[in-house]
């Protein structure tokens, strides 16, 4: 691609950004669709986020992705925020509008599209959610938004799980009157769940991420007899200890690389007003695997 005065610029702001595979997603999509667009990682030092957003606006950047540690910190510098991102409290995609950027969260729609692509249905399902941090909070609201029947939040700190359940139940009451939608337990209280059921289980902690790949947030193999499908948000490694334990007990298990793919795909769609085809998404997915040395 020839870069010229008409080239649209998109980028990734965060700290650090050096190992991101997002450029693989967006620059290859631009190639597939013949668009004069370039995507670059832009490291933003602590304390300089506001200047970074204002600078991107001044340079007429088409859009930006936002990664750690700025997904919540960026919100005050936006002109507008999408309702889902506001409810979650985190933004990972900025889209140019008249007079500034509108913030979206494509992580959670990306997870949903990834689950759909893998044949995992959440509508009407009872789901175990492992974790109560920022990612788990976003997933809990996604499950509510997409029509899950019930969610059981398990966390090392039962109090933190309880706080998240109360927050989600407040939203459920406001949206549809479905209360209680969420229940909270400490990790070692999983025995209180109905052992006659099989649950979709979403692993939303950082436990098991490279380089500490030998760990799972729950090691007890008895827990995994409850799991029919395990979905780990981690993509490095591509087979986590959690996934191994799920499969050892006869369940299906998936990693988070497709979530990363589809959050990028949705951002690209928002920036360019197009719908990325399944064939293009699969081509990008293969390029991501190559970039990660799979």
Q: Can you say how many angstroms the Cα of residue 35 is from the centroid of all Cα atoms in its chain? A: 26
Give the DSSP per-residue string, 195-210.
TT--EEEEE-SSTT-T
71 within 8 A of 81, measured Cβ to Cβ: no
Give CA–CA dist 182/175, Å, rounded.
14
Point out which residues pair with 184 in neighbouring strands.
153
CA distance 229 to 232: 10
User: How high is the pLDDT of residue 293?
Assistant: 82
Q: Are strands 150-155 and 182-186 parallel, antiparallel or unpaired?
A: parallel
- Tell me the per-residue pLDDT of 31-46, one tens digit each, with 9 for 90 and over: 999 999 999 999 999 9
Residue ranges and CATH numbers for the domains of the chain are: 8-105+258-291 (3.40.50.10860), 109-255 (3.40.50.720)
Nearest to 48 by CA among 60, 37, 40, 56: 56
pLDDT of residue 178: 67
134 falls in which pLDDT band (50, 70, 90)?
A: confident
Q: Would you place residue 102 in the very low, low, confident or very high pLDDT band (cuts 50, 70, 90)?
A: very high
Q: What is the pLDDT of residues 154-210, one digit of tens each?
A: 999 989 999 999 999 999 998 776 679 999 999 999 999 988 899 999 999 999 999
Known catalytic membership, residue 71: yes
What pLDDT shows up at residue 194?
84
> Could you say which of 6, 8, 71, 149 is catalytic?
71
pTM of the predicted protein model? 0.92
pLDDT tens-digit series, residues 107-117: 999 999 999 99
pLDDT for 155: 97
């Amino acid at each position: 691609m020839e870069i010229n005065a008409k080239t649209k610029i998109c980028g990734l702001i965060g700290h650090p950004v050096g190992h991101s595979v997002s450029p693989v997603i967006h620059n290859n999509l631009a190639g597939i669709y013949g668009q004069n667009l370039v995507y670059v990682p832009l490291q933003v030092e602590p304390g300089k986020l506001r200047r970074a957003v204002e600078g991107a606006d001044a340079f007429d950047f088409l859009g930006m992705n936002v990664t750690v540690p700025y997904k919540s910190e960026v919100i005050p510098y936006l002109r507008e925020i999408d309702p889902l991102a506001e409810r979650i409290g985190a933004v990972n995609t900025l889209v140019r509008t008249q007079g500034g950027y509108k913030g979206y969260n494509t992580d959670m729609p990306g997870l949903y599209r990834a689950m759909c692509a893998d044949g995992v249905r959440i509508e009407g399902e009872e789901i175990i959610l492992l974790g109560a941090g920022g990612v788990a909070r976003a997933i809990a609201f996604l499950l509510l938004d997409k029509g899950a029947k019930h969610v059981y939040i398990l966390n090392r700190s039962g109090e933190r799980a309880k706080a998240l359940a109360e927050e989600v139940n407040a939203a459920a009451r406001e949206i549809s009157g479905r209360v209680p939608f969420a229940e909270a337990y400490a990790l070692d209280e999983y025995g209180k769940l109905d052992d006659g059921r099989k649950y979709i289980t979403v692993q939303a902690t950082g436990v098991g991420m490279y380089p500490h790949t030998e760990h799972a947030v729950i090691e007890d193999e008895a827990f995994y007899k409850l799991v029919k499908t395990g979905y780990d948000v981690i993509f490095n490694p591509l087979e986590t200890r959690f996934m191994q334990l799920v499969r050892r007990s006869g369940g299906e298990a998936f990693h988070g690389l497709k979530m990363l793919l589809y959050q990028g795909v949705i951002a690209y769609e928002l920036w360019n007003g197009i719908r990325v085809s399944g064939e293009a998404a699969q081509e990008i997915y293969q390029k991501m695997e190559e970039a990660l040395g799979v």
